[in-house]
Amino acid sequence: MRYVIFGAGAVGGVVGGLLHKAGIDVTLVARGEHLRAIQDAGLSLDTPDGLLTLAVPAVEEVSEVKWTDDTVVLLSVKGQQTETALESLAAYAPAETPVVAVQNGVANEPRILRRFARTYAIHVVLPATFLTPGSVVQGSGNTPGILDIGRFPTGVDETAAAIAGDLVDAGFLSEPRADIMAWKYRKLLNNLGNGINAAIAPGPSDGEIYRRCLAEAETVLAAAGISVVSAEEDRTRRADHITERDRPSNSSTWQSLARGSGVEIDYLSGEIVLLGRLHDVPTPVNEAIQRAVHEIARTGAEPGSLDGAEFLAGL
């Protein structure tokens, strides 16, 4: 299997870097200063075992990729960047190419399926940081990530099993799972913390804000009749595989704000807001977080700088 990693940032950098290190054929699709840094000096991957410099091939355009029957796309751009990525993939990748959403949220897979019949979903449990061009940081001090995979909307097949096998060879945990979207909905609940981390200064109100976002989301998902794996099943799967390294990392949404590269919040907290509107369930706290993150992106204010108590008082 050959892999095109479309979006070589935090997640794509760690996944692509470790697949390449395992001797698997990888091409990164990147852009701007990040692409130039990788092409000039290799991808710098900060791991608990030391700093790796990996000469991973990197291109700017998918037209530069040599497409073969065994090429798989791992799509690891942010949710708001998916449409543009698919536009260029659909222009050059053969229609039967398997395309895997290695992304948070639950809105990427249906968009991929409109363009590519062989759509797969990965439940991404892989903390990573990308703030400096050319350089990505593995956030877990132990196993780099848990990347269970299934076919979208449900099922598993030989391709899912083969991708899981390659990911395991690269050091990840990965199992094929027929109900992968139920796991991704559980992750969506975890990711309601992303907007809080991106908007609110760390403090005593964080827990209360998250509890209120979560309660809204659980009501919404129940009203919509959506299957979600239990928190207990998720904890059991994670066990103690993913550990924090020396420093706690900020969420991927915080990182986007810090890099000034747009925000995914409409597909995280905003997914709950959308479902709430569709099923007539109020979601005021998720909506306020969504608006706060957009406001920071628009004004360029410091990420994570709002006062939590004031935010709660303003609801």
Ligand X SMILES: CC(C)(CO)C(=O)C(=O)O
Give the residues lining the site for ligand X (CB under 6 A): 104, 127, 190-191, 193-194, 251-252
Written as one letter, the residue type at 36 is R
Residue by residue, DSSP assigns 115-140 as H-SSEEEEEEE--EEEEETTEEEE-B
18 binds, among ligand NDP, ligand X, none (CB under 5 to 8 A by kind): none
- Residue 123, judged by CB atoms within 10 A of its CB (0-12, 13-18, 19+), counts as buried
Q: Which is nearer to ligand NDP, 264 or 271 (CB)?
A: 264
Q: Which is nearer to ligand X, 262 or 282 (CB)?
A: 262
Q: How far apart are CA 147 and CA 171, in angstroms?
A: 11
Q: Which is nearer to ligand X, 127 or 144 (CB)?
A: 127
Residue 5 beta carbon to ligand X: minimum distance, rounded to whole angstroms: 17
Q: How far apart are CA 274 and CA 35, in angstroms?
A: 35
> Which residue has the CB atom at the shortest distance from ligand X?
252
Contact 54/43 with Cβ under 8 angstroms?
Answer: yes
Q: Which is nearer to ligand X, 94 or 248 (CB)?
A: 248
276 binds, among ligand NDP, ligand X, none (CB under 5 to 8 A by kind): none
- Residue 36, judged by CB atoms within 10 A of its CB (0-12, 13-18, 19+), counts as middle
Contact 122/149 with Cβ under 8 angstroms?
Answer: yes
Residue by residue, DSSP assigns 136-154 as EEE-BSSSS-EEEEEESSS
Output b/e per residue, 69-95; b: 16+ Cβ within 10 A.
eebbbbbbbbbbbbeebbeebbeebee
Q: Which residues bind ligand NDP (CB under 6 A)?
A: 7-12, 29-32, 34, 76-79, 81, 84-85, 103-105, 124, 126-128, 130, 139, 252, 256, 259, 261, 264
Q: Which is nearer to ligand NDP, 159 or 197 (CB)?
A: 197
Residue 38 beta carbon to ligand NDP: minimum distance, rounded to whole angstroms: 10
Residue 266 beta carbon to ligand NDP: minimum distance, rounded to whole angstroms: 12
Residue 282 beta carbon to ligand NDP: minimum distance, rounded to whole angstroms: 25
Q: Which is nearer to ligand X, 81 or 104 (CB)?
A: 104
190 binds, among ligand NDP, ligand X, none (CB under 5 to 8 A by kind): ligand X
193 binds, among ligand NDP, ligand X, none (CB under 5 to 8 A by kind): ligand X
